[in-house]
Chain A
Amino acid sequence: MSTSSTGGPAAGTTRVQGSGATGARTTRTFEFAPGEVDRDDPLHGELMELNMGPQHPATHGVLRIKVVLDGEHMVEVEPDVGYLHRGKEKTCESLGWRKFFVHTDRLDYLQPLMNNCAYALALEKLAGMQVPERGQTIRVLLMELSRVMAHLIYLGTTSIDLGAVTMFFFTFSERERIYTLLDAYTGHRMNNTYIRIGGVYADVEPAVEREIRAWLDQFPKKIDEFEKMLTGNRIWFDRNRNIGTLTPEMCKAWSLTGPNLRGSGVEWDLRKKQPYSGYEHYDFEIPVGTIGDCYDRYAVRIEEMRQSVRICQQALDRLEKSRGAEFLEQDRRYVLPPKGLVHTSMEELIHQFKIVTDMALPKGEAYHAVESSKGELGFFLASDGTSHPLRCHIRAPGLMNVQAIPAIAEGRLFSDMVSIIGSLDFVMGEVDR
């Protein structure tokens, strides 16, 4: 039995030719509709079901994908998520507003500080709080470092899946350097939990700033090295170009945001469009792709890393100017008093007790979204005026990225699956929550 694809990078609809048992050739059009494929069609080739995951190196976590194959072509693709469902939203309801911070780190564990920031921003919106400028600048610095970390993992794991094992070591040695910087600043390599309502936990030491600057100065050269290995690489090019093409319309229909949307040529970045944390004061550009295939998404991410370096450098400049300024809003309804004061002042002790045991947020609803490395990461919070949320919904960009797999994978060769999964870029911790 032989099958051949005559389909180009068509949008949602791909043509697959198959020669069936009778020898007659037929052309069928598949559109995404589960259960539409007629398996009893004698003109069709023999269908085979294949299970991928949940423990599979190329699914980047515990994603399971059920694939129906006709020869080497994927006829039906069905992702099965939930293998890492840890009940975060329920946990938020039972733990309360403050204690949930620790859990946000473990959502998208490639960029813990970004999730912290997103949650803090949503809480601040609900509480109606401001963040001091220095606090915002530190957040921007941490968020951009997180973005670089997440994109490095994308590069490393995707290239290892496509056969470029060396890239894994290249990207991980850079990641290790960021880990060391964060270790020096926050005291842990990952899952830092360093953002608080109203700012950050502690100020950046000048020594750490210098270290970050030194790393930033050499990082663009490393990106050049990555590009030297991948951008013009024949194998990388062939396995990514014209694979998994997304049109802007598809992106909007499938709720895709972030680099996946920008790869399709839509200039949409929340940092520019709906700025938060003072992003409007930074000078950076939004890279966009042209045709929206895996290669474009790769190029967008590479360029985003360069832009992140620029933002980090500007943030460091601003930090230098505002050294010694307040970095945490001293609002005693939500922000813990300094430990020294708690030991000496009755009033501050009461504040501390009140915040730790029962920090109530005003009644109402709020939604805030940030531009994470995967797309729009948002927290929808509903409060009934008590210390425990009525509802905390996490708008995970990864779930939407997983959802789009069938739309772009069906009709393609099975070997393209790895490129597609890699380039859509999701993390199961966030997909399953």
Chain B
Amino acid sequence: MGSLKPADGHASETGFFVTQVDWVVNWGRKNSLWPMPLGLSCCGIELMAMIGPKFDIARFGAEAARFSPRQCDLMVVAGTLTWKMAEAARLIYDQMPDPKWVIAMGVCSSSGGMYDSYSVVQGVDMILPVDLYVPGCPPRPDAVIDAILKLQKKIEREKPFQLLLDGDVVGEYDSGTKRFLRAPNHGVPTTGSHEVLPPTKPGRGRS
């Protein structure tokens, strides 16, 4: 059994073992995404159509839609998010265990879309970190399936084990621009009290 640390004096930065573990973890993660269908409005109906018989998202391993955020790792924001609903959406996001990804389905959740009005959040990225935006009003189910495939590609490129060795990645929320600079994601949980791993850097997390 090799060392968990990257081999010293090796040509590559990361060792063989770490790469393989990353590959296995990513393989598992990307092929069993459990979506949390945050079906808020019209796009939610297309999301149901995507899960339904014709488009059948089960072909890509993401059909296990769960309405409990504790069981999900992919949040699909399908529909218009209003400021009144934003609190609930953020709570749901916080309750999802890491690693978690977010797809903004439809122009409403991507940018506010056609609702430039007093009650609509102008894009869910004002309150959550978003991985993928799917345009369309509503996007056809094929487009959302494409987004899930792209997300799988994105997950392939992640280095969960490497991040663990290097120390955690914590998101920064810039209240000036009201945007996330980096997603608080993919490694160590940063919010809530559900850490599964001990903090790896002094000064982070509860002592």
Contacts and interface: CB of A to CB of B under 8 A. Distances in A.
Interface stretch (B10-18, B111-119, B160-168, B169-177): B111-119
Interface in B30-75: 38-42, 44-46, 48-49, 52-54, 67
A103 to B, nearest CB: 7
Contacts of A54: 85, 88
A61 B80 CA distance: 11
Interface stretch (A79-87, A323-331, A348-356): A79-87
Interface stretch (A168-176, A257-265, A364-372): A168-176
A428 interface: yes
A55 B40 CA distance: 8
Contacts of B54: 172-173, 176
Contacts of B187: none
Contacts of A85: 82, 84, 119
Given A55-B92, A169-B52, A86 B117 contact: yes
Nearest to A429: B41
Nearest to A108: B42
Contact of B42 (A82, A87, A91, A109): A109
Contact of B115 (A56, A83, A87, A105): A87
A57 interface: yes
Interface residues on chain B, size class? 20 to 34
A404 B89 CA distance: 27
A170 B77 CA distance: 26
A173 B56 CA distance: 11
Interface string B101-138: 00000000000001101111000000000000000011
Nearest to A153: B45
A85 B79 CA distance: 12
A102 interface: yes
Contacts of A175: 49, 52
Contact of B80 (A82, A84, A168, A189): A84
Nearest to A149: B45
Interface in A393-433: 428-429
Contact of B117 (A55, A87, A168, A190): A87
A194 interface: no
A418 B115 CA distance: 31
B138 A173 contact: no
Contacts of A168: 52
B179 interface: no
Nearest to A428: B41
B101 to A, nearest CB: 18
B67 A55 contact: yes
B40 A62 contact: yes
Contacts of A105: 42
Nearest to B43: A109
A90 interface: yes
A153 B138 CA distance: 17
A106 B43 CA distance: 10
A191 interface: yes
Interface string A94-107: 00000000110110
Contacts of A154: none
Contacts of B67: 55-57
A191 B38 contact: no
B159 interface: no
A429 B115 CA distance: 13
Contacts of A55: 38, 67, 88-89, 92
Given A176-B53, A190-B138, A86 B80 contact: yes
A110 interface: yes
A82 B82 CA distance: 9
B52 A61 contact: no
A62 B79 CA distance: 11
A295 interface: no
A342 B10 CA distance: 71
Contact of A103 (B44, B88, B114, B138): B114
Given A86-B120, A168-B52, A189-B140, A91 B115 contact: yes
Give the most central of A56, A84, A190: most B CB within 10 Å: A84
A179 interface: yes
Contacts of A179: 49
Contacts of A429: 41-42
Contact of A172 (B48, B119, B137, B140): B48
A169 to B, nearest CB: 5
Interface of A: 54-57, 61-62, 82-87, 90-91, 102-103, 105-106, 109-110, 153, 168-169, 172-173, 175-176, 179, 189-191, 428-429
Report, nearest first, the 9 A-B pairs whose CB atoms are least far apart: A87-B117, A109-B42, A172-B52, A83-B85, A176-B54, A173-B53, A57-B67, A86-B115, A169-B53
Given A55-B88, A62-B41, A90-B118, 10 more contacts: A54-B88, A55-B92, A62-B88, A83-B88, A87-B119, A109-B41, A169-B52, A172-B49, A173-B53, A190-B42
13 contacts: A62-B88, A83-B82, A83-B85, A83-B88, A84-B40, A85-B82, A86-B120, A87-B120, A106-B42, A110-B45, A172-B52, A176-B53, A189-B46
